A and B are shown apart, each in its own frame.
Chain A
Amino acid sequence: MKTKHIFILFVLLALVQLCIPAQMIFNRESILKQGIAYKFKTEPVDPSDPFKGKYIYLNYDLRNVEVGDKDWHRKQDVYISIANDSLGFAKAVTASLEKPESGDFVLAKADWYSESTSELRFSFPFNEFYMEESKAYDAEVAHRDAQRDSLPNNTYALVYIKDGEAVLENVFINDIPIATFVENE
């Protein structure tokens, strides 16, 4: 193969290499700009990823929804319809296998169905929040300390939602961004 041809092929490959991360960015940006923001009560813990660095893993309070249907499989994709409760936090309305036609919804994974309570347990995909390596563990501690305050759970994740896809924008303790909260501690 001539150098020219190799070079043209390489330029094509280089473009694809640039497009993949760029496409990831555009996709998320559009959700952040046009999506609707919801607050999800959460609880952070601290693991790590070899390539992407430290993150806090978020355990959401919202993980069960009452459903009529009994036939669910583990790791199945389910659409969770959500709305705000009286305190302004997200609550699950219902779960379905088909994309809901109206209202806001998030694509989540089914975990298991409990016959006794007729509830479906599910996991949200936006459960990793990346933080500077020195702050990730402190964030977990800060949340635990903040729990001792009078409010029951004052840590929440701000998530933008559009067409079932979600972007986790930030995590707040007492309405202060978690990174700032850790810094002030």
Chain B
Amino acid sequence: MNSKLIKELPDLVENDVISKEVASKIEHYYLSRQQNTPNKLFAIFGVLGSLLVGLGIILILAHNWDNFDRITKTIFAFLPLIIGQLFVAFSILKKKSVTWKEASGTFLFFTIGSSIALVSQIYNIPGNLSAYVLTWIVLSLPLIYLLKSNAIAILNIVFATFYAFEFGYGYYTIDQTPWLYLVIMALIIPHYIHLLKHHKTSNITSIFNWLFPLSITIVLGAFVQDASELGFLMYLLLFSVFYNIGKIPFFNTQKLRKNGYLIFGSLGIVIMLLTMSFDGFWYLEEFFLNTQETYISIVLFVANLGILLFVYSRKWLKEFNLFQYIFILFSILYILGLNIPIVGTIIVNCIVFVLGVTTIKIGADKFHFGILNYGLLIITALVVCRFFDTNMSFVIRGLLFVGVGLGFFFTNYMMLKKQKSNVESLKN
């Protein structure tokens, strides 16, 4: 990115935008900064290399070499692990660079897995996959803190998600809940908090900003047991938590693409509500009181409320945004609406519409074409959904489509015009 700027410099000097002196100062500044930062690309390739070698070793050992006797196989089970440990010990003792620590840590991570796998293979230990992955995670998790390694933290989140998925959705363990997933994630959080404090805007932190909500979204369903009707409420409350976290100024002032919470939360809420805007959804059975799902819903509700109160006490709540309060409205609706389907359907449709309008307004206020069109898309999606399940006449449906289409043209045109006039006024 900087090299692009440096390439532009001669052109800027030629056209008298900046002086030669300024150009050389800018060049000097970027060059000196480049020398001070360690080569990130090298670290990434180091990790990728170790990852591939580690996975390769697992695959080679999985061939299950018949010709070797048990002792040779046992040596092979330990050899990669010990090599990995020596590399890590070396990078700790010699205080090697981040690249060394990340790469050797990643390699050790995979050799832990290969060693347990090979022993299971030699002795025909029947494996349920989730228990195996759990052992792997437990043995590698402390490395996150000993090496201050982001790669191992990411691998641990991915594997923890896999563990919870296997454990919670698996055929043999369908009625079990992966509570240990929460413990693992809680153990990774201090590393994440450290990143947020010291490397707030760096790319690696934003990867975690996406990975955490993604992992939790995948896993939450594994916490649903019998009362699957409450699953929808749980997910809506979870997305609301994400949205409210994303709206905390710490995240909200960052670039949108680095704020995984906000995007996850917003998309999640809209998709959940669109699903529930169908007539058939609200014909549900009774409400469950004493179930695991009820308690999780309550915990998520309280978390939402806690974040909102915290934000309010810090005076960060400047304007009303329906997205942030949707969880209250929805929880009430969920308890009451189950018995009166038509009320649930109508209110959810109204909520989606209002959310669409809210988003359009936010987009217009911020001069953000992306957000503006996202709002229009919400309303379009709502109209499309109604296209399928209502008895409206074709004329009305047609008019609705034409209306939304015109809305797209009109709002975008208005905004472009406003932007142009702003630029003009700046020029004058």
Contact A7 B64 (CB under 8 A): no
Most buried by A among B66, B74, B81, B124: B124
A50 to B132, CA, bound (A): 12
Residue among B64, B85, B118 making CB contact with A14, cutoff 8 Å: B85
Contact B115 A13 (CB under 8 A): no
A132 to B117, CA, bound (A): 14
115-140 of chain B: CB within 8 A of chain A: 115-127, 129, 132, 135, 139
Residues of B within 8 A of A51 (CB): 58, 62, 113-114, 117, 129, 132
15 cross-chain CB contacts under 8 A: A7-B89, A7-B92, A10-B88, A14-B88, A20-B135, A24-B125, A25-B119, A51-B117, A51-B129, A52-B62, A53-B62, A55-B124, A131-B66, A132-B66, A167-B124
**In this assembly, does A125 line the interface, its C-beta being within 8 Å of a C-beta of chain B?**
yes
Interface residues of A (CB under 8 A from B): 3, 6-7, 9-11, 13-14, 16-18, 20-21, 24-25, 28, 49-55, 75, 125-133, 135, 167-169, 179
Contact B125 A132 (CB under 8 A): no
Q: A14-B85, A132-B66 are in contact. Are A25 and B116 (CB under 8 A)?
A: no
**In this assembly, does B347 line the interface, its C-beta being within 8 Å of a C-beta of chain A?**
no
Contact B89 A53 (CB under 8 A): no
Contact A28 B123 (CB under 8 A): yes
Contact B139 A17 (CB under 8 A): yes
Contact B74 A18 (CB under 8 A): no
Contact A10 B146 (CB under 8 A): yes
Residues of A within 8 A of B120 (CB): 24, 52, 130
**In this assembly, does B93 line the interface, its C-beta being within 8 Å of a C-beta of chain A?**
yes
A135 to B146, CA, bound (A): 42
Contact A21 B65 (CB under 8 A): no
How many A-B pairs with Cβ below 8 Å?
110
Residue among A18, A49, A169 making CB contact with B78, cutoff 8 Å: A18
Closest residue on chain B to residue A48 by CB atoms:
B62
Residues of A within 8 A of B124 (CB): 55, 126, 128-130, 167-169
**In this assembly, does B143 line the interface, its C-beta being within 8 Å of a C-beta of chain A?**
yes
**In this assembly, does B38 line the interface, its C-beta being within 8 Å of a C-beta of chain A?**
no
Residue among A9, A24, A130, A167 making CB contact with B64, cutoff 8 Å: A130
Residue among B58, B66, B78, B117 making CB contact with A179, cutoff 8 Å: B66
Residues of B within 8 A of A126 (CB): 124, 126
**In this assembly, does B403 line the interface, its C-beta being within 8 Å of a C-beta of chain A?**
no
31-74 of chain B: CB within 8 A of chain A: 58, 61-66, 74
**In this assembly, does B370 line the interface, its C-beta being within 8 Å of a C-beta of chain A?**
no
**In this assembly, does B112 line the interface, its C-beta being within 8 Å of a C-beta of chain A?**
yes
Residue among B58, B74, B95, B116 making CB contact with A3, cutoff 8 Å: B95
Closest residue on chain A to residue B112 by CB atoms:
A17
Looking at chain B's contact residues, the main secondary structure is helix
Closest residue on chain B to residue A57 by CB atoms:
B126
The 4 closest A-B pairs by CB, nearest first: A53-B62, A28-B123, A168-B124, A132-B66
Contact B92 A3 (CB under 8 A): yes
Residue among B89, B115, B119, B123 making CB contact with A10, cutoff 8 Å: B89
Residues of A within 8 A of B74 (CB): 25
**In this assembly, does B224 line the interface, its C-beta being within 8 Å of a C-beta of chain A?**
no
Residues of A within 8 A of B78 (CB): 18, 21
A169 to B77, CA, bound (A): 18
153-207 of chain B: CB within 8 A of chain A: 172
Contact A132 B113 (CB under 8 A): no
Contact A128 B89 (CB under 8 A): no
Contact B62 A13 (CB under 8 A): no
**In this assembly, does B306 line the interface, its C-beta being within 8 Å of a C-beta of chain A?**
no
B111 to chain A, nearest CB (A): 9
A101 to chain B, nearest CB (A): 27
A129 to B304, CA, bound (A): 50
**In this assembly, does B142 line the interface, its C-beta being within 8 Å of a C-beta of chain A?**
yes
Contact B113 A13 (CB under 8 A): no
Residue among A11, A21, A75 making CB contact with B115, cutoff 8 Å: A21
**Bitwise interface map of B from 329 to 357 toward A, beta carbon under 8 Å scored 1, else 0:** 00000000000000000000000000000
A16 to B82, CA, bound (A): 12
Closest residue on chain B to residue A31 by CB atoms:
B123
